[in-house]
Amino acid sequence: MNKHKDKPPVFATEHEERQFWEQTDSSDFIDWSKAQRVTLSNLKPSTKTISLRLPEMLLDRIKIEANKRDMPYQSLIKAWLVDVIEKHNHLR
């Protein structure tokens, strides 16, 4: 358990404050009993670029399906992958 201090000191200059925080653990000033859980629902998940070789005819068919849905073909591929994985997990 850390030693909770009420408030950090008041500083005369920015330089004085910088020196203080360079030598002080800021967690000493946090009262964890008042902490609240936060949900960051608007964060986008991290993505990673991959290279996927597909037969041209298959890619053309995917692009046609994506065009019918008015969406980028990469987004359609991702949506299909999510659907397949979710269906597979429900079968277990």
Give the number of domains in the chain. 2
Copy the structure tokens of residue 60: 């053309």
4 band by pLDDT with thresholds 50, 70 and 90: low
Residue 55 in this model has a pLDDT that exceeds 70: yes
Is the distance from CB of 28 to CB of 5 less than 8 angstroms? Answer: yes
**pTM reported for the whole predicted model:** 0.52
| pLDDT score of 57 | 98
In a domain? residue 43? no
In a domain? residue 40? no
Residue 4 domain boundaries:
1-32
Residue 6 in this model has a pLDDT that exceeds 80: no
Give 19-54 pLDDT, tens digit per residue.
999 999 888 888 888 889 988 888 888 889 999 999
In a domain? residue 66? yes
- The rounded percent of the chain whose pLDDT value lies above 90 is 59
Phi, psi of 19 (to 5 degrees): -60, -40
In a domain? residue 72? yes
In a domain? residue 4? yes
